[in-house]
Amino acid sequence: MSPVAAALVRFWFRLCLPMLLGLGLTAWAAAQAVAPAPSPAERLEPVAIGEHAGGLPLAWHLQVLDDTSRTLTLDEVRRPEWQSRFTLPDDPLRGREADRVLWFKFQLRLADPADAPQEWLLLVPSVSTHEMRFYGPFAPDGHALAEPVVTGMRHPWRTRPASSEQMAWRFHLPDAQPYTVYVRAESTFARVYDIRVWRTADYLESTQDKRMFDGISYGILIGLLVYGLVLLLVFGEAIYVYYLLSCLCALGALAGINGHLLRYPFANWPAAAGVSYTLMPALWAICKLQFGRRLLNLRQFAPWLDRLVVGLLFALSVAAVYGLFGRHPLLTFNLVQASVVLASAVLLAGALVAGRRRYWPAVLYCVGVALLLLAVCAIIFAAWGWLNWRPGQMNLTQGALVLELVVFAVAAASRLRLVLRSEQALAAHNLELIDALRTDPLTSVASRAGLEVQANRWLREGQPFAVLLLDLDGFKAVNDRHGHAAGDAVLAALAARLREAVRDSDLVARLGGDEFALLVAGDPHPDALTGLAQRLLAQSSLPVDWEGQGLRVGMSIGIARRPQDGDSLDALLRAADRAMYHSKQQSEAPGFSFAGDMPAA
């Protein structure tokens, strides 16, 4: 790891990690901090509505009826026997999400009668409630001031009264007397208790910051999509496929969570928006896991963690399929929630394992996963009833998800840099090998470097072998009389004959000029070497055809054997050279000599 990378790692563990833990504890404390609950008598009093920054919360004033039969009508609910069953929840902002039908009842009145012309907005902070029905307001004499309004995920976008992604209902109060409102919510995983009353104009103005935040988030994700697509097109690795799909599914998941899928692409096709809302988080988690597996190389660094991730992938795949065909999407949602938390913890452990091996992208991945894990836990723990629900938790998760993908992009770039460096080092090493094993350009046999590589390999392995040193006789005369082209033709022809005369396991090399060498593998008997030398001499005596002329040269051969004549290439070449020189000097000799037959130098 470079000094800069090491410094960043230390910075992460010494500063960033404690900071993230501090932020997580702060967020948890903020989620737990709630105003003291009013008394039951105060909760049953009509809520005086007026201008209120952030909307006037009604959570503590909601009377709730759990419609276990899912069939109650408004007329039935208003009967005395059902009115008595409405209760005040102990903690309306905390509770496990479940597939249920709830009826809410509360009373409103104007704090200032001058606000009678004012239009008000009842806002339920949910985009995914299957169906919301708003009834009232009912005057003290029981008559309704407006027709019922029905909207929700099962209904087209045009049913949203305030053109709001969240469930909203426009209403008026003509005077300061108390009016009763009923709301029926059929919810699978929607949060419905944090109902607020806004001035319509104030709410629409307040959404500008959220819209800007969403636009920035989507813009960053689209930029990351383009980045991932470029990486995929250039390098074609599977890891970039999963990064690209992670960005795409994250974009779809956020668009579903924010209600933009129903508002824009599926305005008249609510069923498609509902399926996307259920499936996109599961698909995002699957792609994120696959990206993490490959980035961290868990199969190599932590095989046991990799097997655990594979199990989570299977569970998420089952959840995604069930989300398409199952009757209880909440099961899919809960499984995805649990898998995301567990998978994030597993990948965080994998990143730490890989980081200990000085794998720099793992440190960046660790940062990204930690960011999302802290933010997602705020949402999931609220869904499980462990924390109080706060509207800002969704924005925190959205920002963390986008930031995680940005960090993942940096991690992918870091990995790419490492891969490129590795490939450059490998290419340089390959060039060295190619240079060491390069062939002689004229004769296409090995060069001296190739001879050295092969001989040194056999020496390291302790293998016996023989070295035959060959020098052409009369080559200079051919070169001088017919020119270098003729000499080159003779060298190429003799090199081809030498290759044909030896086995595939043997090596023919040109040492330079008119000098050749043969490496004969194994420990051949002197008789076998004698036969080989005689065949080589016979091949060299054959004329070489060049421009209609038969060019002839002779050959002198010196033979050295390992280990008898030396235990290094230099020693063997010196021994073979002495034997070859001896055979040159002996005109009556057979044309070859063994180094072992030479007198000691």
Q: What torsion, rounded to 10 degrees, do the Cα atoms 278, 283, 285, 286 define? A: 140
Q: Give the domains, in start order, of the chain with CATH numbers.
A: 3-32+237-425 (no CATH), 43-203 (2.60.40.2380), 448-597 (3.30.70.270)
Query: Which candidate, 408, 333, 50, places its Cα nearest to that of 196?
Result: 50
165: which DSSP letter?
S
- Which pLDDT belongs to residue 106? 95
* Residues whose CB is less than 8 angstroms from the CB of residue 290 and which lie 6 or more positions away in sequence, other chains included: 238, 242, 313
Distance CA(353)–CA(308), nearest Å, equals 15
Query: Residue 146 has which token pair?
Result: 């407006």
Q: What is the DSSP string of 485-522?
A: HHHHHHHHHHHHHHHHHS-TTSEEEEEETTEEEEEEES
Q: 524 φ, ψ to 5°?
A: -65, 145
- Which pLDDT belongs to residue 30? 45
Q: Give the other-Cβ count within 10 Å of 208's Cβ.
A: 9
Residues of the chain with pLDDT under 70: 1-36, 93-97, 188-192, 323, 326-332, 355, 357-358, 360, 374-392, 433-437, 587-589, 600-601
- Which pLDDT belongs to residue 306? 86
Q: Coil, helix or strand for 554?
A: strand
Distance CA(171)–CA(207), nearest Å, equals 19
Query: Which tens digits make up the pLDDT trace of 173-187?
Result: 999 999 999 999 988
- Which pLDDT belongs to residue 426? 80
- How far are the Cα atoms of 61, 93, 418, 435 from residue 90, in angstroms, in the given order? 11, 9, 56, 81
- Which pLDDT belongs to residue 298? 83
- Which pLDDT belongs to residue 32? 47
Q: Give the other-Cβ count within 10 Å of 374's Cβ.
A: 20
Q: How far apart are the first and last CA of the chain?
A: 55
Kindly state the helix (H) or strand (E) to which residue 156 belongs, with its residue range.
none
Q: Is 468 left (phi over 0), alpha (psi -120 to 50) or beta?
A: beta
Query: Sign of the C-alpha dihedral, residues 363, 368, 370, 373?
Result: negative
Query: Which tens digits make up the pLDDT trace of 405-459?
Result: 888 888 888 888 877 887 788 888 777 766 656 778 888 888 888 889 889 999 9
- Which pLDDT belongs to residue 35? 55
- Which pLDDT belongs to residue 197? 95
- Which pLDDT belongs to residue 183? 95
- Which pLDDT belongs to residue 468? 94
Query: Residue 34 has which token pair?
Result: 């709630």
Cβ(168)–Cβ(161) below 8 Å: yes
Kindly state the helix (H) or strand (E) to which residue 210 belongs, with its residue range.
helix 200-235
